[in-house]
Structure formats: C-alpha cells, structure tokens
A and B are shown apart, each in its own frame.
Chain A
Amino acid sequence: MISLQVNGKKYEVEVPPNTPLLWVIRESLGLTGTKYGCGISQCGVCTVHVNGEAIRSCVTPVSSVAGKEIVTIEGLSADGSHPVQQAWMAEDVPQCGYCHSGQIMAAAALLAKNPRPSDTDIDRAMSGNLCRCGTYQRIRRAIHRAAEMMGKGGQK
C-alpha cells in the first residue's frame, strides 16, 4: 500500500512502487484531467505539482511521492477560478485542449514563484510543455494577464 495525498485528499493505492504517478492519478484515482502524451518527460501534458514544484508525472515513480502534497488540475481550483484558468479563458487559449492541464499547472507553478515573469522567464518555464495546436502566443499573453490579475489581488 502506498499512501498518497492528492488535492488535499488521502488515498491508499495498491500498485507496484515503480508505476508512474501519471497512471495512478488517471486510472487508480480516476482523475483524468492529467494527460498522457509521451511517457518520457518530453511534452509536459502530464504536469502536476508535488510540494509546489511542477513535475512530469509520467516519469515519476509513485513511491517517490508518497506522503508529499500532490496537486492536479482538478485541485488547482474546484471551479476554474484560479487566475491562470481565468486568464486562459479570457485569452481563448485552448484549441484541442489536450495539453492545457499541463500548461496551466506549469504556468501556475511559475507564477507562484515569480509573480511578474518576463518573456524569457516564460520561455524557460514553459518550453517543456508542447502544444501541437500552436497556442504558445496566447499562453504567453495569458500568463502575463494572470500575473496582472494576481498582482491586483486576484484570488489565490
């Protein structure tokens, strides 16, 4: 049994310790907002927070995060009210939408550490997150917008 804390809830899962966190989140816990895209830490669609850090759940053995605080897109906000989600909607960032759970988690982790990221900071933090629909320009705009919202005392 491995004890996990995901989105503030405790879970006990019975899986081999090497199982990637991604598949435990998706299949054992049924939280399908976190996506599979490459399995080798190349695309970032599986990004979640572990103790506040954006990590790639597809290459993270579940045993290594036992007891740590894991947050998935479902835990970022219950209703899409996180400033990053609000900014994403305002800028109409999503197209197919598949990569955006990961993009939003990466952006939220960036803004938590760096409330006013420059374009270079954004490049550095977000270049591990692929989008085949090519929404990068809008992602950049949305991160700046979210930074502004948070600076003005937006929620969270």
Chain B
Amino acid sequence: MSETVNIRNREAATPFALNAFIAIGSDDVVTLIVNKSEMGQGVYTSLPMLIAEELECDWSKVRVESASVGSVYNHTAFGLQMTGGSTSVSSEWERLRKAGAVVREMLVAAAAETWKVERESCRAEKGRVIHVSGQALTYGQLAAKAATMDPPKEVPLKEPSAFKVIGKPMHRLDNWEKVTGTALFGLDATTPGMLTAVVARAPVFGGKVKSFNAEKAKAVPGVQGVIPVEAGIAVVATNFWSANLGRRALEVLWDEGPLAKLSTAGMREEYANLAKTPGAVARKEGDPDAAFAKAAKQIHAEYEVPYLAHAMMEPLNCLVDLRPHSCEIWTGTQFQTADRDAAARVAGLKTQEVTLHTTFLGGGFGRRANPQSDFVVEAVQVAKEVKKPVKVVWTREDDIKGGYYRPMWYDRITAGLDPKNNLIAWQHTIVGQSILKGSPFEEGPTTDGIDGTSVEGAEDIPYEIPSVLVDLHSPTIGVPVQWWRSVGHSHTAFVVESFIDEVAHKAEQDPFGFRRKLLSGHPRHKGVLELAAQKAGWGTPLPSGRARGIALHESFGSFVAQVAEVSLDPPGKVRVHRVVCAVDCGRVVNPNTVEAQMESGIVYGLSAALYGAITFKDGRVEQSNFNNYPVLRMNEMPNVEVYIMPSQEQPGGVGEPGVPPIAPAVTNALFAITGKRIRRLPIRSEDLEKA
C-alpha cells in the first residue's frame, strides 16, 4: 500500500488553471478537477491517478475538486457529462493521462525558459522540475509562468512498463472527509435563507391530485407554504421536521389514474402468457427449430425476478436557489448535462445561467442518473413557486416508493442436448419493461424494437452453442423503470447462469467443467472461471451441510467469476460463508478500488438475491423502508476474496460487473444442497425445502 496521505480538501492558494483538469497554486497544491461523480466507486482517486502518472506531481499535494458543468467535461464516448455504465476509467484512460502530460510539458518549458536552458536538459519529478545542473523549481513556483505557455499539441504517453502510479494500490483521497463527517453530500448543502420541502406524491404511479386541503398543514409551526407541483403537493417549511409534519397533516384526494388496480400477481400472469409467444428477435444463430427437433433431451424452465429499488443510503434531494437570471443547484447527481438542461427548461433560463454543484453522492447505483431528471425538475418547480432557496428532501419512504426501479422480468428458457449430452440448442424468451422506451435516450441503444439493455447478458452469452434464439417482449406497464447497478445483467446473469447449471446437471456433468468446455474460444471468460474455481478449491470436500455454486458473467468490458460457499443455517435461512471472486477488468488502475468494487457488487447483488422485491397491490408499492425492503447486514457478510487477473487489455469497468454473478452462484450452491432449483428471486424459504 502507498503511504497514507491526508488530503483534506484544504484551502489552497489561488491556483493557476493549466487546463480544464489541472490547477496548481503557488503553495504547490495540485488541484485535480474530476468530471465524474464520486458515489463510492473511487473515481476521486483513480482518475487523479491517471493524471498524476503523467504530471509527475507530488501525490501528497493533490486535492480534488468536482467539475462544473461544461462540454469539456463530457463523457468521451457518450457526449454528455455523466457517470455511469462502469466507464469512468475506460473513457478517461487516454484523455486524463494526456491532460497530465501536457501540463508537465508546460511546467518543464516554463523552467527551461526561466533558466534559459534547453528543454531536454530538464526533467519533471515529484512536483519539481530539475535541471541537469541540480537546480530545481517546484511546480508551485512555475505554475504562473507555465499557465502562459502554449500547450504542446502532441505528447507521447508512457509505456505501461514505466508506470509508477497506475497499477499500484493507492489509499482513497476522500477518506479523511468521509471519516470526519465533513464530506458534503447533497443533503448537507445549505444556502442562506433556505427553506426545506417535502412533496406528497400520488400513491399510484400516474395518479394526479384531485383536490387538497392545506389548512391543517399550514397550521403546523414552521410551515411556510403548500404548493401544487407536477408530482403532487409540496409542503415548504423552515426546516425538515416541520415540512414532514406538515405533509402528514395535509389532506389530499387523488385521482389514482389507470394503474389503480395494478398488482404484481396480475403482471406476473400477463408476463407468463406473453413469454409463451414469440417476441422480437434479438439474436438468431444456426437453426434453432431443427436443432430442437433432433435434440435427444430438452430442458425447460421459467424464471422470474422482481422490481428493485436502488435504496442508496442517502435518499434523493436537491437544493435550488432560483433568481430572475440565475439558477444555482446543489445535488448529488450522475447526470450533470441532462439535469442542467432540464433545470434551465423548467426555470425558463439559458443553460449557461444554470450552475450545478456536484456534491458527494451517498450512493448512486443508477438512480441518480435519471433520464427525466425527475428529482431536479421537481425541485426547480418547487423553487419557482417558493421564490426562495429551497431544498427538496425525499424521505426513505419517498425513495422506496418513488419508482424508477429495476424492471420486473419473466423468462422462458429451453435447451436441447444431443445424445452425447452436447448442448446444441438454446432458446430464451425475455419479458419485461424497456428502461429506454419513452425516455430521452430511446434513439441510440434501441434498434428494431430491441432495447439493448433488456437483452444484454442474454443475447451475447459466451457459451458456444450451434443454434441460439433470444427474443424479447417489452410490455408497456407505466411503472417508472431505470438502470439499476449492472442494468440488464442484474437479471440475465441470474437466468443464464442458473439455467446453464441446470443443463450441466441434466447432462450429468460438473457445472464448472461443463461451462469450461463451452468456452474454448473465450479465453478471458475461461480464465476467470478457472481462477475462481482453483482459488475456491472447487471439487474439494466441505464441512457437511455446505456446498459451492459457481457463476460467470461478462459485463461492462470485464469478466467476473464467483464461487459461493453456502449452507442453510439455521434450517431455512441462507448463510453465505465465503465468496471467491475472480475478475479480469483489463489493465488495472487502482487494485484497491477493484477489490472494493467487487466486495461492493457482491453485497449489493446478495441483498437483492436474499431480500430485494418491490411489489404492487391495488396500484400501491407494498414496501416503504428498510424494515420491509431489507438489505444485507454486517452479521450476514460473507468472507469475500478477490483475485485480479493480470491483463494488458484495455481497462474495463468495475463498478457494476461484481453484481451479476452472485445471485446464481448462491442459488446454484443451494441446488447442490437441496436438489431444488431456485427460479425466482428473492430466495423464498419455501423454495429451500429439499426436493
């Protein structure tokens, strides 16, 4: 581990901006401007590492600032300023190293000019430029002059063999703020004269206010106003608690709209019926009909997974200070450009009149990247009426009931084996809402009626099967849905990796060996599968009552295999003892982050596998808080071991790829214990009785 640095976002001397990402003060403090949102995944450390590698700065002098909104900070592939898709490192890999190299060259040029020597006689090292004679100037001493230098057009980047920072386990730069309570999250932001609002939203998605009586709400001390907005009725007060009490006292009559009778049971029936009919074809290979006709054995199963809430520890919130010609916003968002533009639209301002401050995010998991900018739009609507700075706060109940869930899915899947138990045919029908349909992002990734995020991880299975058909139904339901950490993979990995396990057992083969045999042309898949199996001691004896399950999945440019050791202890209660995780995410920037993200993904996926479900009855979400939407706790935490495959490949993602394999790894282990296949999540106790 590198030496501990205390970054403490200290006040630096007025820094000289050398480019959009780097500013250096006369006090030698190097401010690195990070254009990605820090939501736990470690970008405030890994992205500075990319810059520092080429800048040759003193790491102990680095501080981090979140970027303002500007096209210079747009995602290099997506053209918007945003954080998502596990792409922060891969998309900034070239740009930030170049940014560092360019500034290093400007500093060296400034020193050479100061000393009237050849540029080639100077070198940059740990925050100083040093001349062959031994004389040296610090970056702080050079910054003012360097800022006047022309940035070089072309800069060579280091060969990986010369890396000094990239690939080394580095401590997080945001540790100190986060252990002292000084890190500023959206909910902590304040501005003078600020009011606080909570919004009474319809109990059913698509519902509208019919009428309301504000009298009792207004009688609550501290309540300043009761204001209708698009989503419902905002109760505005001098403080959160008064707003909350005001909302409890508020009387609203709702027109519940077309979803007033929505129920999970009804939806499930509709989905199951749809799954029996052919959908839009996402992938067709070989001749599935003919292959099934000649199959000696057919294996068939139906799988289902529920809606899931993201349930970040910090519920949504957004502070807006709206003035006649300006709008200032503080919030933890993953979607700066979209949020700024939406705020400008609602406020009737030009986009350049909107300033958005990205705070730390108390978790994101996709919820804070809302294509409709729901929590920002609503806050600006409230601010427009209040005419004072106002922070809209979502309670935990608002958050759990607030929609934009991972969709519910229903899958029908069939495999065909030839007489020698070779897998020759695969047919997979998927039913579930598209998260892109009807959103501003419908155009790009949706082709021929197929939302790529609905079939990812299913249409691109790595197993070499001669005939494959994957088709999709995307019913319109009206429940707001959105990306949820690992997106489509959170569902498809469970189905595919459970079913391939079923097929292996029907083929009377070891689940690890069966997979391995089907991956001859997929070395990176095979590599992590073998590594996980070896480290987990696959095939070696375990204490009685314990079993292993294995799963493998590629997502976001990375390959992850996990082996879970599971028992039922006490009977009927799933206990995951150990998870061995092998990851190939290409070239690693901060191994410490990679490990942490695998641990994190496993816990997130395990919470969903064991407990996660948003269900509907009479149009209403039945869950409200952590008492009925439970998540994993300390006493349930398995020992997680992470093994990183050495790789020279382009960097892949790490924020999401740890999630998909854990549910099937656990349910495959449960099958090994009980002989009963778990085909629906979350795992229910009645599904754990022995077959």
Contact = CB atoms under 8 A, between A and B. Distances in A.
> Is the pairing of A and B real?
yes
Interface residues of A, number: 61
Contact of A94 (B174, B626, B632, B640): B174
A43 B633 CA distance: 9
A90 B1 CA distance: 9
B569 to A, nearest CB: 14
Contact of A20 (B241, B396, B627): B241
B315 A132 contact: no
Interface in A69-109: 72-74, 77, 79-80, 85, 88-90, 92-101, 104
B592 interface: yes
A131 interface: yes
Contacts of B137: none
B602 interface: yes
A111 interface: no
A35 B314 contact: yes
Contact of A90 (B4, B38, B42): B4
B637 A136 contact: yes
B337 interface: no
B463 interface: no
Interface string A53-64: 000000000000
B175 A33 contact: no
- Interface size, B (range): 35 or more
B interface, over-half SS: loop
Contact of B626 (A43, A77, A90): A43
A112 interface: no
Contacts of B599: 134-135, 137-138
A80 B176 contact: yes
Contacts of B644: none
B147 interface: no
B626 A38 contact: yes
User: Which of the listed residues A23, A104, A122, A131 has the most CB atoms from chain B within 10 Å of its own CB?
Assistant: A131
Interface string A114-156: 0000000011101111111111111110000000000000000
B567 interface: no
A89 B179 contact: yes
B100 interface: no
A16 interface: yes
A135 B603 CA distance: 8
Nearest to A72: B181
B266 interface: no
A94 B175 contact: yes
Contacts of B311: 132
A119 to B, nearest CB: 9
Contacts of B180: 33, 73-74, 77, 79-80, 85
A122 B6 CA distance: 28
Contact of B174 (A32, A43, A97, A130): A97
Interface in A28-53: 28, 30-40, 42-43, 45
A95 B42 contact: yes
Contacts of A104: 179
Nearest to B313: A98
Interface stretch (B149-157, B358-366, B557-565): B358-366
Contacts of B179: 80, 85, 88-89, 93-94, 100, 104
B626 A23 contact: no
Contacts of B627: 40, 42
Contacts of B182: 33
Nearest to A85: B179
Contact of A89 (B4, B181, B364): B4
B597 to A, nearest CB: 8
Given A100-B178, A100-B179, A134-B603, A39 B396 contact: yes
A107 to B, nearest CB: 11
Contact of A36 (B187, B190, B603): B187
Contacts of A96: 38-40, 312-314, 360-364
B404 to A, nearest CB: 16
B625 A42 contact: yes
A104 B632 CA distance: 18
B135 interface: no
B362 A92 contact: no
Nearest to B182: A33
Nearest to B397: A39
Interface string A10-25: 0000011001100100
A140 B633 CA distance: 12
Given A95-B596, A100-B178, A101-B181, A131 B313 contact: yes
B245 to A, nearest CB: 9
User: Which of the listed residues B177, B182, B637 has the most CB atoms from chain A within 10 Å of its own CB?
Assistant: B637
Given A73-B180, A89-B171, A130 B626 contact: yes
B634 A92 contact: no
User: Which of the listed residues B38, B179, B599 has the most CB atoms from chain A within 10 Å of its own CB?
Assistant: B179
A132 B176 contact: no
Given A90-B4, A127-B633, A27 B240 contact: yes
A128 B172 CA distance: 26
A25 B337 CA distance: 34
A40 B629 CA distance: 13
A40 B187 CA distance: 18
B37 to A, nearest CB: 10
A137 B639 contact: yes
Nearest to B638: A137
Contacts of A31: 181
A123 B634 contact: yes
A92 B626 contact: no
B41 interface: yes
Contacts of B196: 27
21 contacts: A15-B241, A23-B240, A26-B240, A27-B241, A33-B180, A35-B185, A37-B314, A42-B625, A42-B627, A43-B313, A73-B181, A74-B180, A80-B180, A89-B175, A90-B4, A96-B313, A96-B314, A123-B635, A127-B633, A130-B313, A134-B600
Interface of A: 15-16, 19-20, 23, 26-28, 30-40, 42-43, 45, 72-74, 77, 79-80, 85, 88-90, 92-101, 104, 122-124, 126-140
Closest 9 pairs (CB-CB, A-B) = A33-B181, A134-B603, A98-B362, A95-B40, A97-B178, A96-B40, A73-B181, A32-B188, A94-B178
Given A23-B241, A88-B179, 12 more contacts: A36-B187, A42-B625, A92-B172, A92-B596, A94-B40, A96-B360, A98-B313, A98-B363, A127-B634, A133-B600, A136-B637, A140-B637
